[in-house]
Amino acid sequence: MSNVTGFLKSGVKGWFALAALLLAAQGAALHMLSVPERDLPIPPLESFPPAFGSWTVQAEQNLEPDVLEYLKPDSYVLRDYVSKAPSGSINLFVAYFKSLQNSYGPHSPRVCLPGNGWLVRSARIRPLAVPGRAQGIPVNEYVLEKNANKILVLYWYQNDRNIWAEEFKAKLTLLPDLIRYRRSDVSLVRLVAPVSGEDASQELAYSQEFARLIFPALVDSFRKTD
């Protein structure tokens, strides 16, 4: 068993080392190359539908000025959706970044939520069945706790070419996308649901259903940048 564990650890270390080398190589290439990007139209996320099934908008929100200045999204939507059946509430945040070439891009919830005092109780990547994709999509699932409050967070990254859960993949695909498509746009999609019980099973079920409901609208929004 120790040999297997050692092999797995070495494999993980090898993968991260390879990823680091690829990122470094791409960074050096971008410093030497100036790749002009296509002038893409920015998706009007503020016109995202106000209702999905039994879910309707309860409140429209704006990012705090300092957060907006830090993230610098080209377009975003931040809303609270509520439903009576199933009974629950979900905060939806979608942020679109037109280019990663001159900016950091989406700030990972995996980093910013614990940084705000939330303790990670569980974390995993799980497949989510969505319309139009037989294989589903990978999403990050986090349960976090702060004082006596718990939240469930689902998030993923998406553009019109791909959907992924791992943060570093955006950087790994930056140079290939620039060369092939002359674009490096990406969006962060995040759902947050307050957890009322001992576990988040109920919140997970309706958050997954909400994600399935909004997915076609997300695809349509990002296709408008093509």
The three-state secondary structure class of 62 is coil
The three-state secondary structure class of 17 is helix
- Are the beta carbons of 187 and 222 closer than 8 angstroms? yes
Q: Write the single-letter amino acid at 3.
A: N
Q: Which two tokens stand for residue 191?
A: 């759902």
- pLDDT in the model for residue 225: 61
Give which of 155, 152, 141 is closest to 214, Cα–Cα.
155
Burial of 155 (0-12, 13-18, 19+ CB in 10 A): buried
- pLDDT in the model for residue 34: 62
Show me where the domains of the chain are located: 1-33, 39-223
Enumerate the H helices of 104-200 as residue ranges.
109-115, 168-172, 174-181
* Separation between Cα atoms, residue 140 and residue 122, nearest integer Å: 11
- pLDDT in the model for residue 6: 34
- Residues sharing a CB contact under 8 Å with residue 91, sequence separation 6 or more, in sequence order: 78, 79, 80, 81, 191, 192, 193
* Separation between Cα atoms, residue 14 and residue 118, nearest integer Å: 31
- Are the beta carbons of 191 and 108 closer than 8 angstroms? no
With left for phi above 0 and alpha for psi between -120 and 50, is residue 30 left, alpha or beta? alpha
* Residue range 39-223, CATH number: 3.40.1000
Burial of 161 (0-12, 13-18, 19+ CB in 10 A): middle
- Are the beta carbons of 126 and 141 closer than 8 angstroms? yes
Q: Which two tokens stand for residue 106?
A: 């989406």
Instruction: From first to last of the 226 residues of the chain, give the pLDDT tens digit.
Output: 433 333 223 333 343 344 444 444 444 444 445 677 888 899 999 999 999 999 999 999 999 998 888 888 999 999 999 999 989 999 999 999 998 766 556 767 777 777 678 899 999 999 999 999 999 999 999 999 999 899 999 999 999 999 999 887 767 777 788 888 888 889 999 999 999 988 999 999 999 999 999 999 999 999 876 5
